[in-house]
Amino acid sequence: MVEINSVLITGANRGIGLEFVRQFLTNTSVRTHIIIATYRSQESSSALLELAKSTTKVYTLKFDVNQFDTYDKFVIDVQSIVGDKGLTLLINNAGICVPFGDTLDDVTPEKFTSVFTTNATAPVILTKVLRPLLKQSARIHSDKNNGLSIARAAVINISSIAGSCAADIGPLFLYAYRESKAALNMSTISMAIELEKDGILVESLHPGVVDTDMTATHTLPKIDATTSVSKIIEVLLTLNGKNKEGFPSYDGKILPF
């Protein structure tokens, strides 16, 4: 069993994020000591808040990833939870999409900027401000080989096959969403190189086409969030920073950037 001291998941009140919280509590391949789950509003987060009441492992923090002026306070809150062991695993999961079927006629500068801020800018800025805590975890949890792993220190960016420039997903344009995930992948490549020397693994990951609010109007075949996240955790446990060819999908396949 792999020990993960702490994991922070953004957008953890519903969908894939909430399922991450559930499975870090119950998955038998990992033992996670501290799970920090962020949410935006009390009203839409009852499932998460109830879950948190049933265990001492889950800490909830109110956090909107677009509010960059709250990041310093957020880091202090995270630090007070994780203590001197630092933060082991950051999962940049919070994301927004445009309506399925969006074409060039539907795109506006406002929509583009808004999707980009949440999906592409926020994960990078959050990684930047949490870097000292991740570095602290990497120092404390280094093994004799100093290898990269999610048990040492890692940033996992929840991307999408829709952000792969080379994958053929047909005429699904989703302007702003696809570009934002391609940009996130580019940032993953840069951060993986820059943070390797700190002992921090950085990877993008495609969760599959998952049945959540985001895909409610989508007609493609979908998997449920339980299947997606259980397979993602299997994949996470294999990551060692050596894959440079593309980004993993929930089923272990490597997708081209």
- Answer for which of 151, 154, 155, 209 binds ligand NDP (CB under 6 A) is 209
212 contacts ligand NDP (rule: CB under 6 A): yes
Task: State how far the Cα of 82 lies from the Cα of 12, in Å rounded to an integer.
Answer: 18
Q: Which stretch binds ligand NDP (CB under 6 A): 20-28, 40-48, 81-89, 196-204?
A: 40-48
Least distance between ligand NDP and beta carbon 29 (Å)? 21
Give the up-direction half-sphere exposure of residue 171: CA atoms within 13 A in the CB hemisphere: 3
227 contacts ligand NDP (rule: CB under 6 A): no
86 contacts ligand NDP (rule: CB under 6 A): no
CA nearest neighbour of 2 among 197, 206, 235, 193: 235
213 contacts ligand NDP (rule: CB under 6 A): yes
123 contacts ligand NDP (rule: CB under 6 A): no
Q: Do residues 205 and 235 touch, judged by C-beta distance below 8 A?
A: yes
Strand positions, DSSP E, the chain: 2-9, 30-39, 58-62, 89-92, 154-158, 201-205, 246-248, 254-256
241 contacts ligand NDP (rule: CB under 6 A): no
CA nearest neighbour of 227 among 2, 12, 47, 23: 23
Residue 213 — φ and ψ, nearest 5°? -55, -35
- Answer for which of 155, 214, 233, 235 binds ligand NDP (CB under 6 A) is 214
The binding track of 6-35 with respect to ligand NDP, each residue x by CB under 6 A or -, is ----xx-xxxxx------------------
118 contacts ligand NDP (rule: CB under 6 A): yes
Indicate the burial class of 186 (C-beta count within 10 angstroms; 0-12, 13-18, 19 or more).
middle
- Answer for which of 35, 36, 87, 158 binds ligand NDP (CB under 6 A) is 158
Beta carbon nearer to ligand NDP, 207 or 241: 207
Give the sign of the dihedral formed by CA 227, CA 228, CA 231, CA 237: negative
* Residue ranges in contact with ligand NDP by CB under 6 A: 10-11, 13-17, 40-41, 44, 64-66, 93-97, 118, 158, 160, 206-207, 209-210, 212-215
